[in-house]
A and B are shown apart, each in its own frame.
Chain A
Amino acid sequence: MIFMTFKLEYNEINEDKELNGKTTILNVLDDLEVSPQTIVAKKNDQIVSEDAEINDGDTIKLIQIIYGG
């Protein structure tokens, strides 16, 4: 069985995550309970919107730009 994975970098988090079916940045944010309003997402070093789909081998970096509350 081949596992599809992506790399997730967010603050102290730096880990490989399993990809189960269609996953968007927004799905990842929901799992982390992070509001899309507070971050900018990069997929393989390119800025993407939260609707962007994550593929096997992608590196996803979430950059927090808004703090507070």
Chain B
Amino acid sequence: MDICSKCGNPNIVIKRKASGQALCQDCFIESIEKKVIKTIKKENLLQKGDKVMVALSGGKDSVATLEILNSYVERHFIELCACTIDEGIKGYRQEGVDIAKRHAKRLGIEHQILSFKDAFDIDLDEIMNVPDHRGACTYCGVFRRWLINRAARDMGATKIATGHNLDDEAEAIMMNYLEGNIGNLVKIGPITESKSELFTPKIKPLREIPEREVGLYALSKGLEIHLDGCPYAQQSFRMEVGNVLKDLTPEHPTIMYSTLRGFDKMRPVIREELTEPFEFDRCEICGEPSSNKVCRACTFLKELGHSPNLDYF
């Protein structure tokens, strides 16, 4: 029987295929936290005095992010706040929102809960009833990001932290490469910034942690997480790419790591060669930075016969 490679405890919670390393609960927790801290240091994700807004869905990734970033608050390095988006999915979303509320309360941090319904006068369930709609995921991501960007400015945050994990990043890299979407490859990275002062930089502290290990971390720490899958999640190209990577992983356990590593090496070169001069404009409807006259959120809302509630904040 395996014992913990670090301390010899016979109660192991994971055996990593890539390294053969077996870890007990405490040593596993420590290894995850150490890895995230290393990412934050290596990629310069945090500066002293940062006010970090965690995009907190209540799921395993955002809850884990909140927990680990909280250790920086305890060391008086940063300030934390959170924003939860309620897309309005009956029988599913409320649980995540409630879990997010409890975590924010437990940590004593400022917490904004924003809803599609209040911001746009239409929620995701209602959008799904509109004929010829574009599919749930298309609207969801665009509207969430619109709200997150505005919330960050409203809360005076200097950084937005998301729970993107290794699986997410590897999928994004492969998706965009396979589609020849080099423009998007330029944008993927541990920190997303923009020349526009209306954009708050987004950081991804969990980017080197495999998705399963994020879940294991949250459960090991006894953190309450929303476990259900979104009822609108449908077969998408991202999912197909994700399945390919997940299918390769048993025989090639380091494949997601190597995808990320290789990409990180290419990143500076791609950026230098391929970044197009960003001529940013502001959406004529909502004022958000946009490379077009009307931003995507407002374009979608227009199609749905709605417009954003600009007094929401």
Interface residues of A (CB under 8 A from B): 35, 37-38, 40, 46-51, 53, 63-69
Contact = CB atoms under 8 A, between A and B. Distances in A.
B227 A64 contact: yes
A65 B229 CA distance: 9
A47 B2 contact: no
Interface string B235-253: 1000110110010010000
B229 A49 contact: no
Interface of B: 1-2, 11-15, 22, 25, 60, 211-212, 215-216, 219-220, 227, 229-230, 233, 235, 239-240, 242-243, 246, 249
Closest 9 pairs (CB-CB, A-B):
A67-B229, A65-B215, A69-B243, A47-B13, A69-B239, A68-B239, A49-B15, A49-B12, A40-B219
A47 B1 CA distance: 16
A64 B229 CA distance: 9
Nearest to B13: A47
Contacts of A66: 211-212, 215
A65 B219 contact: yes
A68 B249 contact: no
A40 B2 contact: no
A66 B246 CA distance: 11
Nearest to B23: A49
